[in-house]
Chains A and B, each alone.
Chain A
């Protein structure tokens, strides 16, 4: 009950954010967005046809009417049909989002897990050569462009070694999944690892210097026990925050590059195609749902805080 009222309160609190996101993206992507008219017209259009298509696309209506319509679409979660293919936006989303999730999940999980493990190791040996090695590697990883990694991995694994497909997504069972997901996963882990390790190390070092860690050592706890119970568990709040808040960005931004490059029919590629072809219904849906996702994550994060830290209460303020 407490939880429910909390969630409702938070949802209402998220409305300004959703309004903000929709307004800004509406202005940029819809009102000043690309003009699809001439892509839908024939090779030999007439003025009347142009006016007709513009009217069908709704370009001729005033700003406020169009924005209000967007909000109505948000409220009903019905974004109509794609301007390019005519496919229902909801069916595009339900077709592509699972692909993106399946594509990104292994890299996301591995990137964070490895980041935490390396962060723990570096924090434990802070100042030593192990730490310097890991952190040096992290800086190197951070300095390489995602695009360079993708190009290099594709060339290496797909062309030179030929172990994995160069592109595509023809997944129907576990082996084929592993076959297609490996190179994108490696690339995204490689790119995320540097940033993750640095962040986790910083958080963990701060925790490792706390008094209760010294207490645990003074009472004979083993390093693994200390790292897990004292360091990791206590650093959960920043860790959970980072991991959760990276989800919406990864689902859209991260998948965008990987999917365009590897030709995988996920939400990122659809979004990118929508940008470059001005498919506004899809853009409206993706941006709007991302904002909703953000609000949901805000709520989930708060609830998880409660789970990982007994000092946090949902009714009062944290810590």
Chain B
């Protein structure tokens, strides 16, 4: 076999007897994930941010993000932990409130684009080399050929200030990668015995797709979901800077966009706080996502 480092001289069945290791994909993934300290740390940080976002949802904190509570550009103090911005708004409250915005964008875009990508990818794979597949492949190729920011900007402009324009644009571009991956997996799966058996006993095609094929691509969907989540949060910053992002409310992207002028006037607080919050969440999510990929993709098993 290829690398002696990868195939260790320990035959599988013996291992199963001596140590009760889980044999399913998910069981092994869980074991692998648990041993990945970076991923666990990432998950923990993401959880903290999520709680922060939930708190904002329930109005426990971050409620006074829009009020001008202080003077312009006050330094950190007991009243304003991280100081105030140009309008005298509390930077900490705004950063905390933005956590909710980030999760809203990340979750909505990740869930929708994963659903769309999974569904269309499965359809495309199941009917591979038929017309549905050709049309879907053409659509994916087309969407991938339009430069991302141009596309998002165009959607935002076309939808004239609609608060969901940004989400829709991101979903419309992010689903293609997921769909391609799912398509490949489904093509692989549909030739496997259990699917052929399902055909043989006369199960309907949609039943096969939804009951047998899609669930088996769930690991791809999960990993892609995390990747899209991170991409969405990062894209929001750029779009908000370009004036195409969040329409009402506040987000780290808006804070950074506000701060671009302040930074050059020597006021760094808004910039540092917003970018740090975002960096920590994105970094944690990246670590978490990496851990998931290592755990779920046998080919990415560590070294």
Q: Do any CB atoms of chain A lie under 8 A from CB atoms of chain B in the complex?
A: yes
B241 at the interface (CB under 8 A from A): yes
A290 adjacent to B145 (CB under 8 Å): yes
Please give, as numbers and ranges, the residues of chain B lying within 8 Å of A166 by CB-CB distance.
264
Whether A126 touches B303, Cβ cut-off 8 Å, given contacts A139-B287, A271-B150, is yes
The listed residue (B147, B237, B278) touching A252 by CB distance below 8 A is B147
B157 adjacent to A275 (CB under 8 Å): yes
Instruction: Report Cα–Cα, A275/B242, bound state, in Å.
Output: 10
B207 CB, nearest partner CB in chain A, Å: 32
A113 at the interface (CB under 8 A from B): no
A215 CB, nearest partner CB in chain B, Å: 12
Scan B132-156; emit 1 where CB is below 8 A from any A CB, else 0.
0000001101110111111101110
A317 at the interface (CB under 8 A from B): no
B264 adjacent to A155 (CB under 8 Å): yes
B282 CB, nearest partner CB in chain A, Å: 4
B271 at the interface (CB under 8 A from A): yes
B256 adjacent to A275 (CB under 8 Å): no
A151 adjacent to B263 (CB under 8 Å): yes
Size range of the chain A interface in the assembly: 35 or more
Instruction: Report Cα–Cα, A126/B303, bound state, in Å.
Output: 7
Instruction: Report Cα–Cα, A249/B145, bound state, in Å.
Output: 8
Binds B, one of A16-24, A82-90, A102-110: A16-24
Whether A28 touches B263, Cβ cut-off 8 Å, given contacts A17-B145, A143-B279, A271-B150, is no
Please give, as numbers and ranges, the residues of chain A lying within 8 Å of B151 by CB-CB distance.
25, 28
Please give, as numbers and ranges, the residues of chain A lying within 8 Å of B15 by CB-CB distance.
none
B2 adjacent to A211 (CB under 8 Å): yes
The listed residue (B146, B275, B287) touching A287 by CB distance below 8 A is B146
B10 at the interface (CB under 8 A from A): no
A165 at the interface (CB under 8 A from B): no
B108 at the interface (CB under 8 A from A): no
Instruction: Report Cα–Cα, A278/B158, bound state, in Å.
Output: 10
Instruction: Report Cα–Cα, A283/B230, bound state, in Å.
Output: 29
Please give, as numbers and ranges, the residues of chain A lying within 8 Å of B286 by CB-CB distance.
139, 142-143
Instruction: Report Cα–Cα, A154/B261, bound state, in Å.
Output: 12
Instruction: Report Cα–Cα, A257/B149, bound state, in Å.
Output: 9
Please give, as numbers and ranges, the residues of chain B lying within 8 Å of A248 by CB-CB distance.
145, 147
A210 at the interface (CB under 8 A from B): yes
B259 at the interface (CB under 8 A from A): yes
Q: Tell me if A's interface is mostly helix, strand, loop or mixed.
A: helix
Binds B, one of A2-10, A29-37, A64-72: A29-37
A20 adjacent to B282 (CB under 8 Å): no
B243 CB, nearest partner CB in chain A, Å: 8
Instruction: Report Cα–Cα, A289/B300, bound state, in Å.
Output: 38
Please give, as numbers and ranges, the residues of chain B lying within 8 Å of A143 by CB-CB distance.
230, 279, 282-283, 286
A94 at the interface (CB under 8 A from B): no
Instruction: Report Cα–Cα, A248/B302, bound state, in Å.
Output: 34
Question: How many A-B pairs with Cβ below 8 Å?
Answer: 140
Instruction: Report Cα–Cα, A209/B1, bound state, in Å.
Output: 10
B242 CB, nearest partner CB in chain A, Å: 7
Q: Which of A80-102 contact B (CB under 8 A)?
A: none
Whether A253 touches B149, Cβ cut-off 8 Å, given contacts A33-B157, A151-B260, A275-B154, is yes
Whether A20 touches B237, Cβ cut-off 8 Å, given contacts A140-B283, A151-B256, A209-B6, is no
Instruction: Report Cα–Cα, A253/B154, bound state, in Å.
Output: 13
A127 at the interface (CB under 8 A from B): yes
Please give, as numbers and ranges, the residues of chain A lying within 8 Å of B148 by CB-CB distance.
249, 253
Scan A113-128; emit 1 where CB is below 8 A from any B CB, else 0.
0000000000000110
A229 at the interface (CB under 8 A from B): no
B275 adjacent to A145 (CB under 8 Å): yes
Instruction: Report Cα–Cα, A105/B303, bound state, in Å.
Output: 34
Q: Which of B211-238 contact A (CB under 8 A)?
A: 230, 234, 237-238
B290 at the interface (CB under 8 A from A): yes
B289 CB, nearest partner CB in chain A, Å: 10
B3 at the interface (CB under 8 A from A): yes
B237 CB, nearest partner CB in chain A, Å: 5
Instruction: Report Cα–Cα, A272/B143, bound state, in Å.
Output: 19
B290 adjacent to A33 (CB under 8 Å): no
Q: Which of A31-50 contact B (CB under 8 A)?
A: 32-34
A147 at the interface (CB under 8 A from B): yes
Please give, as numbers and ranges, the residues of chain A lying within 8 Å of B299 by CB-CB distance.
206
Scan B1-38; emit 1 where CB is below 8 A from any A CB, else 0.
01100100000000000000000000000000000000
A127 adjacent to B282 (CB under 8 Å): no
The listed residue (A20, A147, A249, A257) touching B142 by CB distance below 8 A is A20
B254 CB, nearest partner CB in chain A, Å: 11
Q: Which of B245-281 contact A (CB under 8 A)?
A: 253, 256-257, 259-260, 263-264, 271, 275, 278-279
Q: Which of B15-69 contact A (CB under 8 A)?
A: none
A-B contact pairs, 13 of them (CB 8 A): A17-B145, A20-B138, A20-B139, A21-B145, A29-B154, A139-B287, A140-B283, A144-B279, A145-B275, A210-B2, A256-B149, A290-B145, A294-B145
Residues of chain B at the chain A interface (Cβ within 8 Å): 2-3, 6, 138-139, 141-143, 145-151, 153-155, 157-159, 230, 234, 237-238, 241-243, 253, 256-257, 259-260, 263-264, 271, 275, 278-279, 282-283, 286-287, 290, 299-300, 302-303
Given contacts A146-B237, A148-B256, A155-B264, 8 further A-B contacts (CB under 8 A): A25-B150, A25-B151, A27-B158, A28-B158, A127-B302, A210-B2, A257-B242, A283-B154
